[in-house]
Structure 1
């Protein structure tokens, strides 16, 4: 009977994955922008021609754009969020109280009219006809003169004026490190529309989602500036910094820069007269650029070392997570920490080498888990940040720390942070929308740490080799397609033949925790207890008095399958015995043994996220 059930499950999951969500569609955008920058006033004039393709089966009477700069105004939702959250981001606040009794004030609240950010829409047409629009915070609502039909491609022409805000979060002017312009979320960006409807999140400093498309961006700026940006520079011989033989052509004291990028969903740039540019190419052919401020010899040395490691990073990820599909990647100093964008990142640059490499690896890893897959960061923040942090950690240990083959649990520090969160009373379900966490502490640990735990513990459930195959299979099926976590689950099910509904549901949608214990050990049997309301399969390593070892594997009934043996040195020469599955409705389980146990241990690999490991081992 069990074999019949397993066969039915394999056929069902294979059919589901091959369907790739029947009826799947996605919208497409093509931006052509011309930007004229006044570097003295920190303002610019913008003109955009946007081709928008409606691939849905729904006629659209309205469309929406994000105006992110509008968040940097007193009274905005971001301003109020900083005032009312228990632990506001220190980069965005000042303490007007004392160290003992801090009182945090939003930096946005004190911005003057000359310091705020804004995007002022001056004109907008739809297929040549004027379109009516209204601004509501950071959202521009556009009512079309006639509905956009399914399969139709429409053209929007927009002109706007913008002011770059003081550097407070991601975007801005005059960062603490002295970068003149960090231009992130700087243009009116078409909102995302998919099977779930329009995604119209007000900007309160969290993450983003947008449709894939092509970008053709021309920037006119003071000829002394150097720009680092998304995409590929089209005229390196006519601008400063990218070609030693460049003859800078200027019009009215301005140079013209042009960048193009295909199949990305965001475009970033930064500019400063003091920027220098370096580049190298990975084995796989990715041209990696660094654009930074050479403030001292240590900084220059760190950036040179980081450049070499970055090229290795792209080769490492190609082997483990799928090939990077774009020709260039730019690492640009700017912003207030690190933030990923299409084929580029902004990072703060005055770091020690370990910190610099770490932030570059993290933001570059977002090229997979965010940009290549177009993950909805506002809905599935752990799928974005957690999986990115997972890639970062594996690559860092392999390339920077040179640990060689990664054995057992490589992200144990993320597990420890998750345990602390789970026991703090501040944990909320990981399925919560990113903007709505009660604390930044909970958000950060859910997204960055618990997300890593989900990935590594998945390997514990389906096997390390199957996890590696899942990442690569997922890449083949879902690149450039805005997948959901359920799509990743289905790929893992197809690869492993194991049902994972119970795991993803409980770990993502609840705050239930795992707690198993070795309850009793005798000469003939071992009793295990599930002390929690979260059932898991169990690896139980038993060392007998005669020095031999045996690994008992206890699958969970809900899995409808079994994990294969794993190639860990920890288990070399150890007999593996597969036992009958354990029911989640039964709190205890007895393992029969034929020799006297000396030591009994649940999960020696430490991948089971057990919040109380003190009762996982018994030594007689």
Structure 2
């Protein structure tokens, strides 16, 4: 009995150390904001009380805030990026040329003073003492009156005003679909500080990172406006849209909306007088809200269908990737496409049903990979977007397309997109910082598609069952923290017993490709060749003259282990034979068969990202 107790303690202690990453810590924020909106001039006055806890191992003499609205001004870094990248986002540009001589112009460059975005800080104190602060485009650098000591919690008081920019990217006023206010990246947000230091990324194009915390947000808007937001609405009977018996309480023609959310790291909302609100509950008791413009019958039908599927999606993800931990999720029409935020998303809504469900599934999947784990999207964009796209695709095929059994490789379209990228000459390492890709094409193909390939191919290496277990164990260990890809690797290694250093290094940090071939098939002998500079384990399915099948599994020496038997229908009836390891230093591998082959197939599950498949099969 004592021995068993000791063993249990050691397992728990190991798990604790594993989860905490040998001294892991994270900062904490607690926002309380009061926002008075001047909807006619697209401006607002903001007051913030922010409690900031320094859990790091050092004192902080400075802190930083992001002022994202400042990017929407002529001459900003975002403006220059649009003007000089070879394939700018068409949503953010105008074509001012001709068919014969096209010329692209940044929309930001054309904004008038009344159309730009800005956040102007009027006052900022820490524990009642004034700070010295300096605005550097989209960053606010704050020199503190005294350093924040290790373990200390301080209170910042901030007054600011902001102007909401024309809708150009994610946030803004008067979207193309007619939504009045899409309020994302809208408040001065505390920058993220962790073991790697301060993350002071200019708002150029890409994604975000922030500390976890609580939000208490009060909005004052005209009484006829309806709001969709992060968090839980605290006063549904005093505002429009959420309660049929509501009697709107207004002062000076404005209603007060009060939202609270716990343990999230970004807060978004949108507002429009024409919004309608609908809701349903998932089997797991998650309330899913939809807030949208009911422009016609088809749009209303699409949103109703999408809402029911979204509720099913949360149950699907709970089983495969861990339970959604917040009580609500709000899907709001707004923005310029789709973007994830804490317990909410803004998506464009005038879509056909397939497109609407697809974008909702994608942004809802971000509740895991990015928001539940606080992944640093500016550094590990593929870990964020790629894994999200993987979850989206599994959910879409299961729930929308109603496939009884998923394909052996359910993300084969992502593989095809990756092959095109790998052969395009535009591929850059997946570890490149998100803002620094030479092309938007390179970024999107890497982050969304090669990231999916990475996840699916990891299942090929360690086995699909082990991959499923890895996702769930990763959830248990790292929810509400800020894990890195290395933390995911460590979990996958512990679950599978396979060393993965080589895979994470070569597939993430280089643009090397995989290319194997069946070089020769003799009477009882098959020779394979690695024509590339990435070595991989091999599944080889051989069919013999008598109709029997044999699945040869060749582990890679660096793996220091092997994956378990997998149950795919293509392997039904095949005897599995595990062969000696293949060294990455050896370009060819010869195996013996007991019978004469009539058909040989390299990687019949199509999960090996082999850029040239023409030489992957042989038939007598």
Shift of 1:17: 6.8
| Matched residue SS, 1:613 | coil
- In structure 1, the partner of 2:566 is 566
- In structure 2, the partner of 1:70 is 70
Q: Does 1:496 align with 2:496?
A: yes
CA shift digits 1:238-277 (9 cap, x unpaired): 0000001001010000000000000000000000000000
Structure-2 separation of matches of 1:110 and 1:450? 36
- In structure 1, the partner of 2:434 is 434
Shift of 1:572: 1.2
- In structure 1, the partner of 2:156 is 156
Structure-2 separation of matches of 1:246 and 1:531? 69
CA shift digits 1:129-165 (9 cap, x unpaired): 0111000010000000000000000000000000000
CA shift digits 1:404-449 (9 cap, x unpaired): 2223100000000000000000000000000000000000000000
Q: Does 1:281 align with 2:281?
A: yes
CA separation of 1:15 and 1:579: change in aligned 2, threshold 3 A: farther
- In structure 2, the partner of 1:602 is 602
Structure-1 separation of matches of 2:330 and 2:118? 27
Shift of 1:98: 2.1
- In structure 2, the partner of 1:57 is 57
Q: Residues 369 and 383 of structure 1 are in contact (CA less than 8 Å); yes or no, is this contact kept in structure 2?
A: yes
- In structure 2, the partner of 1:250 is 250
Q: Residues 19 and 477 of structure 2 are in contact (CA less than 8 Å); yes or no, is this contact kept in structure 1?
A: no
For residues 470-619 of structure 1, the aligned pairs below 5 Å read 470-619=470-619
Q: Residues 369 and 387 of structure 2 are in contact (CA less than 8 Å); yes or no, is this contact kept in structure 1?
A: yes
Shift of 1:101: 3.3
CA shift digits 1:274-299 (9 cap, x unpaired): 00000000000100000000000000
Further displaced range: 538-547 or 401-410: 401-410
For residues 109-508 of structure 1, the aligned pairs below 5 Å read 109-508=109-508
| Matched residue SS, 2:470 | helix
Shift of 1:69: 0.1
Structure-2 separation of matches of 1:389 and 1:313? 14
Shift of 1:545: 1.2
Shift of 1:99: 2.9
CA shift digits 1:369-415 (9 cap, x unpaired): 00000000000000000000000000000000001222310000000
Shift of 1:15: 7.5
| Matched residue SS, 2:428 | coil
Which runs of at least 4 in structure 1 moved beyond 4 Å after TM superposition?
Answer: 13-17
Structure-2 separation of matches of 1:100 and 1:375? 44
Q: Residues 407 and 568 of structure 1 are in contact (CA less than 8 Å); yes or no, is this contact kept in structure 2?
A: no
Q: Which 5+ residue runs of structure 1 have no aligned equivalent?
A: 1-10
Q: Residues 19 and 478 of structure 2 are in contact (CA less than 8 Å); yes or no, is this contact kept in structure 1?
A: no
Further displaced range: 319-328 or 404-413: 404-413
- In structure 1, the partner of 2:8 is none
Q: Residues 61 and 143 of structure 1 are in contact (CA less than 8 Å); yes or no, is this contact kept in structure 2?
A: yes
Q: Residues 33 and 46 of structure 1 are in contact (CA less than 8 Å); yes or no, is this contact kept in structure 2?
A: yes
- In structure 2, the partner of 1:7 is none
CA RMSD of aligned residues (A): 1.1
Structure-2 separation of matches of 1:19 and 1:69? 36
| Matched residue SS, 1:300 | helix
Shift of 1:102: 2.1
Structure-1 separation of matches of 2:145 and 2:396? 53
- In structure 2, the partner of 1:3 is none
Number of corresponding residues: 609
Q: Residues 17 and 490 of structure 1 are in contact (CA less than 8 Å); yes or no, is this contact kept in structure 2?
A: no
Q: Does 1:39 align with 2:39?
A: yes
CA shift digits 1:227-247 (9 cap, x unpaired): 000000000000000001001
- In structure 2, the partner of 1:84 is 84
Structure-1 separation of matches of 2:427 and 2:29? 38
| Matched residue SS, 1:614 | coil
Q: Residues 17 and 494 of structure 1 are in contact (CA less than 8 Å); yes or no, is this contact kept in structure 2?
A: no
Structure-2 separation of matches of 1:76 and 1:432? 22
Structure-1 separation of matches of 2:209 and 2:359? 21
TM-score (norm 1): 0.97
